Structure 1
Amino acid sequence: MVHIKPFAVEQWMDTYETTAKYNIAETCAASVSVNELRELSENKTAEIVDLSTVLNYGEIRGNETLRSNLARLYSSRSGNPLPKENILIQPGAIAANALVLYTLVGPGDHVICHYPTYQQLYDYPASLGAEVELWKATPEKQWAPDFEELKGMIKDNTKLIILNNPNNPSGAVLKKTLLQEIVELAREKNITILSDEVYRPLFHGVTPAENEFPPSILSMGYENTICTGSLSKAYSLAGIRTGWVASRNRDLIEKFAEARDYTTISVGILDQQVAAFALDQDCIHSLLGRNIALARTNLELLERFVIKHDEYCTWVKPVAGTTAFIKFCRDDKPIDAREFCKQLQEKTGVMFLPGDCFGEEFKGYVRIGYVNRTDVVKEGLEQARLFMRKEFDDIPLAA
């Protein structure tokens, strides 16, 4: 039997999110309804879902319109257009990641994973028999991992370098220069790169005009690159369970398609129609504009909270995505973040997520998802402020 560690983040969310009054642990930009999606579109009369569609398996590798829209997005900043055939639709980015790892990784392989990050990206390959090493980023370096450390980690059997850009939980990005160095190293050693870009393109503290703006890994000129994404985070459509895997290397896509036959026949036809509508040029700019504006507005609220409690809180302000990683201390010692989150939700209805879900070394940290609807974030942070004033001194310190 394959041994895999319990998925700490997902288990916490499963336990607490349905009872939260103010869910500011949520990592999706505030979700929209089909009706709200139509209102965001420039074409208010366009059909989102064709109710005459026969509900068979549909196009096995994915809706052609959806894949064409994705190919356009990945080609916009590249002189080398990405063919739609180089994209496979999956039920969310989590399934896309699993497909890539299941296909490429096994016993005897060495995998390097950017860290901290989503637990799937390092514990799932370990469960497949790979040796996994963590390429650690720290707040002291603004959550930027050290390239020289990465060079020193490479082995003869290194099969895969895994990145998460923008990063969950920190909201930091791997900058363009660092990405170029990673790509050149991988090219020299013939190592494949997997980049989980599920929070792309939700950039709110860095702009495409800046020299260090991070491009997609598919735009870096190296064939053996893979990226995964979904409609859940930046596009507010977690409920349609639609994601993808894309690569410049068509041979890799064909390998994934062969493995996919064992796990995913196809993704729901109607779900993909909604996804295609959202990524159409009539809708995508308004949808992303809404979410970037939400992120900026709500991050200001969160920053005020951190500043107000600066004797207890430290952070590196996020520049992308939907999450912030904040350390809570008292008398310069980290608090018991699990107890903090439990008591906070029990007494106020406010949901945070304890940072040790990302690793035992993150004592005192909490992850806050600040791109929910502004009224939820505003009231949730006010309730957290009142809790800090009345209850925080009684929270135990971390062991």
Structure 2
Amino acid sequence: MVKIQPFQVEQWMDRLETTPGVLNIAETCAASVSVDELVQMCKDKNAPGPLSLSTKLTYGAIRGSEKLRQRVAALFDRESDANALPADNVIITQGAIAANYLLFYTLVGPGDHVVCVYPTYQQLYSVPESLGAEVSLWKLKAENGYVPDVSELEGLVKENTKMIVINNPNNPTGSTTPKHVLQEIVAFAKQKDIIILADEVYNPLYHSLPEGQAAPPSILALGYDKTVATGSMSKAHSLAGIRLGWIASRDKSIVEGVAVARDYTSISVSQLDDQVASYALSEPVLGPLLKRNLGLAQSNLALVSAFVDKYSSVCSWVKPTAGTTALVQFKKKGEVVDDPTFVLDLLEKTKVLFMPASPCFGLGQDFKGCVRLGYVCDAEVLKEGLSRLGQYVEENLL
């Protein structure tokens, strides 16, 4: 029997984000946009609109429209030394969460072993475990900037290791796994014939890298066929409401296996979602949309950084370099706070919401006192949230 562990971060979000008057700085999407705003961003004012209202609403293209799959495939060509990814190597899904689930459902089961970075989105280790696979956590360390230490892989893998799972940029830490580390992971996996799954849902929001460090390419760009990347329109592209993501791989057998499994679940995505995503990924729209979100991430991160500096006696972090989330630890009189209690008390007294890390991203006492803060929301929401948080800190922690 499949054993499902509670998906803690989603349950916390579902329970609390509808609190009346909430200032939600737990949200992990770049500030959402409307279809009207997408049209306003479009640099080609003569381009067709995002929706064809005359299209018959059949199931549509089962794997996603050719136009959309071509535009998703083009995302993987950035800094790639490999050949262009064919559209046939892309399957469109209901968000990255469905993409990840389908991959695990297709590729792992009892008798398999999976190595997964940690901390990360709980789905990436709980789902393979629920399907009967053994999971070993590849623990990221704050002192290493939450970048994976490839030298640890040899001690983690087993003879039956089927998959290594990474998340780049990382949720919740906002860390970046640079290109040279990705290359080391690929070299290790290739030698042992292990599949690499990279959840790249926050790609390409590499907004605050150290000077001289380039944004890393997709895992698909590094010359190993047994790599799979998942992504979506939710995080970097501000369109969580259309529930659209993808699976891409250079290994056609993986793509075909997923297609077979997918017939038992969702069959296809909504044609309306497909059309809006195709429009958002078109050249005249994608550039302005990503420019807007990268700029928002940089300016908002500066606000959080100033807050952490101001209250450095009670809070600390490893400053994010990418994505939309940060892991911040709070203390009171030198002792880390109980983060679930802290989050609930803050919400009750100020209406400011972020997520407690120990139940949502940790096992046991891991990440005690830490919260996940989503900072690429509307700037005014973040400013007001930090203002109220600062008042709370002065009244309760200093």
For Structure 1 versus Structure 2, the TM-score category normalised by the shorter chain is over 0.9
2:356 paired residue among 345, 354, 359: 354
Question: In the aligned structure 1, how far is the partner of 2:205 from the partner of 2:369?
Answer: 27
| Farther off after superposition, 50-59 or 147-156 | 147-156
Q: Which residue is equivalent to 2:93? A: 90
1:72 paired residue among 71, 74, 90: 74
Question: In the aligned structure 1, how far is the partner of 2:397 from the partner of 2:352?
Answer: 14
Q: Check the 8 A contact 2:333/2:397 in 1, yes or no.
A: no
User: Displacement, 1:392?
Assistant: 3.1
Question: Secondary structure in 2 aligned to 1:75?
Answer: coil
Measured on the aligned residues, the alpha-carbon RMSD in Å equals 1.2
The answer as to 2:206 corresponding to 1:197 is no
Could you tell me the TM-score, scaled by structure 2's length?
A: 0.96
Question: In the aligned structure 2, how far is the partner of 1:144 from the partner of 1:86?
Answer: 29
Cα-to-partner distance string for 1:342-375 (whole Å, 9 max, x where unaligned): 1111111110110111013110000000000000
User: Displacement, 1:122?
Assistant: 0.2
Question: In the aligned structure 2, how far is the partner of 1:172 from the partner of 1:324?
Answer: 9
Question: Secondary structure in 1 aligned to 2:97?
Answer: helix
Q: How does 1:243-254 map to 2 (within 5 A)?
A: 243-254=245-256
Question: Secondary structure in 2 aligned to 1:49?
Answer: coil
Q: How does 1:1-399 map to 2 (within 5 A)?
A: 1-19=1-19, 21-45=22-46, 46-78=48-80, 79-206=82-209, 210=212, 213-356=215-358, 357-359=360-362, 360=364, 361-392=366-397
Consecutive unaligned residues of structure 2, counting only runs of 5 or more, are none
User: Displacement, 1:147?
Assistant: 1.2
Question: In the aligned structure 1, how far is the partner of 2:66 from the partner of 2:58?
Answer: 16
User: Displacement, 1:152?
Assistant: 1.5
Question: Secondary structure in 2 aligned to 1:194?
Answer: strand
Q: Check the 8 A contact 1:177/1:212 in 2, yes or no.
A: no
The amino acid of 2:369's aligned partner reads G
Question: Secondary structure in 2 aligned to 1:296?
Answer: helix
Question: In the aligned structure 1, how far is the partner of 2:226 from the partner of 2:127?
Answer: 21
Consecutive unaligned residues of structure 1, counting only runs of 5 or more, are 394-399
Q: Check the 8 A contact 1:93/1:229 in 2, yes or no.
A: yes
Q: Check the 8 A contact 1:353/1:367 in 2, yes or no.
A: yes
Question: In the aligned structure 2, how far is the partner of 1:273 from the partner of 1:42?
Answer: 18
Question: Secondary structure in 1 aligned to 2:2?
Answer: coil
Question: In the aligned structure 1, how far is the partner of 2:75 from the partner of 2:156?
Answer: 33
Question: Secondary structure in 1 aligned to 2:392?
Answer: helix
Question: In the aligned structure 1, how far is the partner of 2:147 from the partner of 2:200?
Answer: 16
User: Displacement, 1:210?
Assistant: 4.0
Question: In the aligned structure 1, how far is the partner of 2:214 from the partner of 2:270?
Answer: 38
Question: In the aligned structure 1, how far is the partner of 2:66 from the partner of 2:148?
Answer: 38
User: Displacement, 1:173?
Assistant: 0.9
Q: Check the 8 A contact 2:78/2:217 in 1, yes or no.
A: no
Cα-to-partner distance string for 1:292-330 (whole Å, 9 max, x where unaligned): 010011101101110111001110100100000001112
User: Displacement, 1:391?
Assistant: 2.6
Question: In the aligned structure 1, how far is the partner of 2:157 from the partner of 2:347?
Answer: 43
Aligned-pair identity (%): 54
Q: Check the 8 A contact 1:165/1:200 in 2, yes or no.
A: yes
Question: In the aligned structure 2, how far is the partner of 1:384 from the partner of 1:343?
Answer: 11
Question: In the aligned structure 1, how far is the partner of 2:76 from the partner of 2:299?
Answer: 28
Question: Secondary structure in 1 aligned to 2:18?
Answer: helix
Question: Secondary structure in 2 aligned to 1:143?
Answer: coil
Question: Secondary structure in 1 aligned to 2:206?
Answer: coil
Q: Which residue is equivalent to 1:397? A: none
Question: In the aligned structure 1, how far is the partner of 2:158 from the partner of 2:371?
Answer: 34
The change in CA–CA distance for 1:240 and 1:125 in structure 2 (over 3 A counts) is same
Question: Secondary structure in 1 aligned to 2:327?
Answer: strand
| Farther off after superposition, 94-103 or 346-355 | 346-355
Cα-to-partner distance string for 1:262-313 (whole Å, 9 max, x where unaligned): 0121000011100000000010010000000100111011011101110011
Q: How many residues end up aligned between the 2 structures?
A: 392
Question: Secondary structure in 2 aligned to 1:226?
Answer: strand
User: Displacement, 1:212?
Assistant: 5.4
Cα-to-partner distance string for 1:83-123 (whole Å, 9 max, x where unaligned): 00000000000000000000000011010001100000001
Could you tell me the TM-score, scaled by structure 1's length?
A: 0.96
Question: Secondary structure in 2 aligned to 1:51?
Answer: coil
